[in-house]
A and B are shown apart, each in its own frame.
Chain A
Amino acid sequence: MTRFAIPASKLGHIMLWLIAALYLLVSPSIYYHLFPQEGKPLEVWKQQPKEKGNIRYNVEDCKFWSEDRVSYEEGETYALWGWAFLDTGPGTMQTDFDRFVVLYDDVNAYVFPMQDYRRPGVQDRFKDLGLGDLTYSGFYSVISRNALAVGKYGIGLLFKHKQDGTSHYIQTSKMLVRSPNHLSLERKSK
Chain B
Amino acid sequence: MLKYAILPILAAIYPALFHYANNTDLVLFASVIQICVFLIGIGLAIYVLLALFSRGKFPAAAVGTLLALVFFHTYGIVFDRLRSIDGFQIETYSFLPVWVFAALYLAWIVTKLDTKFLTQIWNGTVLVMGGLILFNIIQIAPLAFEKNKEVSSVKETPVSANITGQQYPDIYYLVFDEAAGFEAMRDYWHNNEVDKFAAFLKSNGFYVAENSHSLTTGSMYERTLHLNYEEYPIPSTEKVYDLYNETIGQNRVMDFLKKHGYTLVAFDEMRYYLTTLIPLPVDHLFEQSPDQYVGDDFFQLDDYKGLVLENTVLRPFIRQSNQDPKILSHKNMILYSIENVPATQFPSPRFVYVHLMLPHVPFVFRENGDLQLEGGYGNWQKYLQNYQYFLNVAQQMVENILAEADPDNPPVIIIQSDHGARNNVKDFRYTSALENYPDKYKNLIVNAFYLPGCTDAPLTQDFKPINTFPVVFNCYFDENIPIK
Contacts and interface: CB of A to CB of B under 8 A. Distances in A.
B88 A117 contact: no
A10 B428 CA distance: 55
Contacts of A181: 83, 86, 89-90
B375 interface: yes
A180 B89 CA distance: 5
Interface stretch (A23-31, A42-50, A93-101, A166-174): A23-31
Contacts of B95: 24
A69 interface: yes
A24 B87 contact: no
A154 interface: no
6 A-B pairs with the lowest CB-CB distances in the bound complex, closest first? A140-B428, A27-B94, A81-B428, A180-B89, A28-B89, A181-B83
A182 interface: yes
Contacts of B102: 20
Contacts of B377: 69-70
Contacts of A31: 91, 93-94
The prevalent SS among residues of B at the interface is loop
Nearest to B376: A69
A27 B96 CA distance: 12
A79 B90 CA distance: 20
A179 B373 CA distance: 31
Interface of A: 16, 20-21, 23-25, 27-28, 31, 61, 63, 68-70, 73, 76, 79, 81, 115, 117-120, 138-140, 179-182
Contact of A115 (B88, B319, B375, B431): B431
Contacts of A180: 86-90
A129 to B, nearest CB: 21
A73 B319 CA distance: 9
Contacts of A115: 428, 431
Contacts of A61: 427
23 contacts: A16-B105, A20-B97, A21-B98, A23-B94, A23-B97, A23-B98, A25-B88, A25-B89, A27-B94, A28-B89, A28-B94, A31-B93, A63-B427, A63-B429, A69-B374, A70-B377, A70-B378, A115-B428, A117-B428, A117-B430, A139-B428, A180-B86, A181-B83
A118 B93 CA distance: 36
B200 interface: no
**B interface, size bucket:** 20 to 34
A1 to B, nearest CB: 33
A16 B106 CA distance: 13
B288 to A, nearest CB: 19
B91 A70 contact: no
A76 B91 contact: yes
A27 B87 CA distance: 16
A43 to B, nearest CB: 23
Interface in B83-126: 83, 86-91, 93-95, 97-98, 101-102, 105
B114 to A, nearest CB: 19
A84 to B, nearest CB: 13
B87 A68 contact: no
Contacts of A73: 319
Nearest to A146: B89
A27 B93 contact: yes
B303 to A, nearest CB: 15
Nearest to B327: A69
B277 interface: no
Contact of B431 (A28, A117, A179): A117
Interface string B409-449: 00000000000000001011111010000000000000000
Interface in B365-394: 373-378
Contacts of B378: 70
Given A69-B374, A79-B428, A181-B89, 17 more contacts: A16-B101, A21-B98, A24-B98, A28-B93, A28-B94, A31-B91, A31-B93, A31-B94, A73-B319, A79-B429, A117-B431, A117-B433, A119-B425, A180-B86, A180-B88, A181-B83, A182-B86
Nearest to B105: A16
A20 B375 contact: no
Contact of A20 (B93, B98, B427, B433): B98
A61 B427 CA distance: 10
B91 A118 contact: no
Nearest to A24: B98
A20 B430 CA distance: 42
B403 to A, nearest CB: 38
A68 B90 contact: no
Contact of A138 (B90, B101, B373, B428): B428
Contacts of B373: 68-69
A100 to B, nearest CB: 16
Contacts of B433: 117-118
Contacts of B319: 73
Nearest to B84: A181
A118 B98 contact: no
